[in-house]
Structure 1
Amino acid sequence: MGEWPKGYARHVFDRVDSTLAEAARMAPTLAGPAWIMSTEQTAARGRRGRPWSTPRGNFAGTLIMPMPGDPAQAALRSFVASLALRDALVTCTGQAARFALKWPNDVLCDGGKLAGILLESVGPHLVIGIGVNLLSAPAPEAVEPGAVLPVSLEGAVAPEPFFDALAVAYDRHETQMRTYGFAPIRTEWLRHAARLGEVVTARTMRDETVGTFEDVDAAGNLILATAKGRVAIAAADVYF
């Protein structure tokens, strides 16, 4: 899986409230980027404050790093993290065909939700929280109606080897992003995008847009072809 990437600190805990919260506590003392993993989380959360179950055997990790440019550039790290997640899963399982990427920040396995990513800012730092159902998944009734159902790898991959593979993969894509910009990341992401060319629904707290998933633009927006023309969506939950 490669050696641990140079320049990244590595912290492994047995139990924390959440790796995002631990990253925020550690932020004032950090001299550079750091990866944090915990065997168990007791108060994890996902997007929009939704609870995220992390029993032992699943993966809970956070990367905290100096803010990489302006907020728009920082937001594009969700694509970097998505590619790194997929690469780590392929490395650990050898089963590339099973994994796809769902805009804006989920990884699917055999069509079900396997992993999620959450980006936040903590002062001058960006934190990227990652949860992966390596052992078990929440019950179907725990997710909102219409959402992609959660799945797991049922213990086929252990958390610490996955952690190492993820850090190596992230470093590779982050280096590519810093060297060449978003264009090659976008191209690679689209190669693995779920439901590209199909009709999807993008839903926000205020409205809903139905259209054919055509593209992701240079700013990371979802591009849908609708009855009223092409629409660029900056943030939404996507339903199949």
Structure 2
Amino acid sequence: MSADPWPEGIGRRLLAEVDSTNAEAARLAASGAGPCWILAGFQTGGRGRRGRPWVSPRGNFHATLLLHPEGPPDRVALLSFAVALALREALAGLTGLPQVFALKWPNDVLLNGGKMAGILLESVGQGRGVAHLAIGIGVNLIAAPDPGAVEPGALRPVSVLEETGLRIAPEALLDALAPALARWQARLETEGFAPLRAEWLAHAARLGEPIRARTGTAERQGIFEGIDAQGALILRTAAGVDTIPAAEVFF
């Protein structure tokens, strides 16, 4: 598969080692750096959602896209769906196995039903907007964490190599991901969220099935009916329909 051209106006930084690519993005933003991708061979302090450590062995994908987006924070947050779509698209193209990848709300990419990737958005505000946005992406290309190290009830961690037998270099994934994300980002800006919502739902895991949504210490169970026009989870419970803007989902 031939990669599409690198997106115009987007820098590219390849690092042998860093504490975390999101932390490096924050440092670059403070220095006035423009939009760029940062790819690290190894992270000494990778982080997932809620500050959880993200295991970052060499050969896996650890990258961050630094952006200076326009628009209000709720609009900028929809970029997480663009990232998930682009990552699924890139991996489907590189492996030739589109049927094995699915999307889990809010922004995980699954492989054969296991968690293969995570996406972390971190922003710094400026007035009513967002001064800079760091989109961190971790993909288990060759190794996954020990299943015993994940939270009870969480999906089993998997890697591309273990599940498909295919070895993808981090640089090759970046070359496919960067243009794919640029395309989805452009569609979000020109056409709004509707086409992204439709494509995301076409690849959504457990759509129409029972799930659990945890917000803090509260947990709700119901049927996953989709996402609304703002990207919120739609959950049909015994008490009616809930629209949940932020939660952790368990199957």
My pick for the range that moved more, 23-32 or 132-141, is 23-32
- Does the CA contact (< 8 Å) of 1:78 and 1:105 recur in 2? yes
Aligned to 1:126: 133
Structure-1 separation of matches of 2:122 and 2:20:
13
Aligned to 1:197: 208
Aligned residues: 240
Q: 1:203 to 1:166 in 2, by over 3 A?
A: same
Unaligned stretches of 5+ in structure 2?
126-130
1:172 is paired with a residue of what secondary structure? helix
Q: Report how far residue 2 of structure 1 moved.
A: 1.0
- Residue number among 225, 228, 238 corresponding to 1:214 in the alignment: 225
Aligned to 1:160: 171
Runs of 4+ with deviation above 4 angstroms = none
Structure-2 separation of matches of 1:52 and 1:152:
14
TM-score, reference length from structure 2: 0.94
Aligned to 2:188: 177
Aligned to 1:19: 21
Q: How does 1:33-182 map to 2 (within 5 A)?
A: 33-123=35-125, 124-154=131-161, 156-182=167-193
- Does the CA contact (< 8 Å) of 1:119 and 1:128 recur in 2? yes
Structure-1 separation of matches of 2:206 and 2:226:
11
TM-score, reference length from structure 1: 0.98
Q: Report how far residue 150 of structure 1 moved.
A: 0.5
Letter in 1 for 2:65: L
Structure-2 separation of matches of 1:182 and 1:137:
32
Cα deviations by residue, 1:95-124 (Å, 9 ceiling, x for unpaired) = 000000000010000000000000111351
Query: What is the percent sequence identity of the aligned residues?
Result: 58
Say what the alpha-carbon RMSD is for the aligned residues: 1.0
Q: Report how far residue 208 of structure 1 moved.
A: 0.4
Structure-2 separation of matches of 1:163 and 1:39:
12
